[in-house]
Amino acid sequence: MLLASAAWWFGILYLAFPYVTNGSSESQAGPVGAVIGNDVILPCYLKPIPDNIIVEWTRSDQTSGKVHLFKDGQDSDGDQLPDYRGRTSLFNDQLINGNVSLKLSKVTLSDAADYKCSIPNEEGQKSNIKLLVELAKDELDRVLKELEEARKKKEIIDNENDSLAAEIVDIKKAVLIKSVTKVMLIADLLLQNKSIDEEDHEKIRTAGTRHDQMTQLYQVLDKKGEKAKSAFHMILKEQEPDVLKLDAASTWSRGQITGVIIAVIVAVLTASAVV
């Protein structure tokens, strides 16, 4: 209860000063800001109005349905947009003064819109107001922290992914040395990628036969470590995908199984990061 009224007052604090009309022309007030989950009042003042008046609150992006409709001396929810059910109210004791401000509770992100209050069929009796919705500071901090944690997790997974690729390169060593044909192209790309240096590249180039060059390439990769093997794996996948499909060992290593599990986690993490 205390929390609810605190939230309500917080919502009130976000009110921009209303633009009071003299009742004779259209007006533009606001914008009004609200924090997600809080309540907000959208101010609107029209000409002092008779008892049997109709007051309409609408959204400019919703042509059918009302945000709030007051007629025959009471709220009417027949034509109300579903998203606003049970969340809107007018200040009934204020209507007689032409104060047709709308209280909107439990603000959501999708409430951000241009609103219009009006008395249908009465020329000039309307006013527009924009509602801006934002995250509370602590909520924003929480979201940023989650993103940072997701980024760190992804970094860890990327590293494990490198280990996995390196392991595949190791497992398939014999078959790759035998079958890879574009050795120098791959060496060029590795050099370009800074995974190997000039000196290593030169050793590979001058090694002799294609088979010798591959053997030399493997020596360099063994020296450089997982990141280089991972880059080699990536380049190979682009340049000669078929050789990677050649069987080295018929059973999966523990590392490969771990890799599949990691790939699933990455997919889930990526999906949740997007949300």
Ligand X SMILES: *[C@@H]1O[C@H](CO)[C@@H](O)[C@H](O)[C@H]1NC(C)=O
Tell me which residues touch ligand X (CB under 6 A).
Answer: 41, 91, 94, 99, 101, 158, 161, 165, 193-195, 231, 233-234, 266
Report the distance separating Cα 91 and Cα 34, nearest Å.
19
**Judged by CB, which is closer to ligand X: 9, or 91?**
91
Q: Which two tokens stand for residue 121?
A: 């069929």
Q: Rounded distance, CA 108 to CA 37, Å?
A: 6
Q: Which is nearer to ligand X, 101 or 127 (CB)?
A: 101
Residue 185 CB contacts under 8 Å (≥ 6 apart), including other chains: 239
Task: Let me know: does 57 contact 102? Beta carbons within 8 Å.
Answer: yes
DSSP string, 110-140: GG-EEEEEE-TTSTT-EEEEEEEEE--HHHH
Residue 155 CB, nearest distance to ligand X (Å)?
10
- State both tokens at 226: 């997982």
What's the min distance (Å) between Cβ of 6 and ligand X? 17
Question: How big is the chain by its Cα radius of gyration, in Å?
Answer: 33
For 38, residues 6+ apart whose C-beta sits below 8 A from its C-beta are: 7, 8, 10, 11, 14, 106, 107, 136
Instruction: Give the Cα separation of 69 and 80 in Å (integer).
Output: 7
CB of 37 to ligand X, least distance (A): 20
Dig out the tokens for 133 from the structure: 């919705």
Residues in the chain: 275
Q: How far is the CB of 135 from ligand X (least distance, A)?
A: 25
- Which one, 84 or 259, has the nearer CB to ligand X? 259
Is there a contact between 54 and 123 (Cβ–Cβ < 8 Å)?
no
Distance of closest approach, residue 101 Cβ to ligand X, in angstroms: 5
CB of 129 to ligand X, least distance (A): 13
CA atoms of 185 and 195, how far apart (whole Å): 14
CB nearer ligand X, residue 137 or residue 254? 254
Min dist. Cβ of residue 73 to ligand X (A) = 18
User: What gap in Å lies between CA 74 and CA 168, rounded to an integer?
Assistant: 72
User: In angstroms, what is the minimal distance from the CB of 51 to ligand X?
Assistant: 18
Q: Which is closer to ligand X, CB of 56 or CB of 226?
A: 226
Nearer to ligand X, 117 or 183 (CB): 117
Nearer to ligand X, 212 or 240 (CB): 240
Cβ proximity to ligand X, 133 vs 165, nearer residue: 165
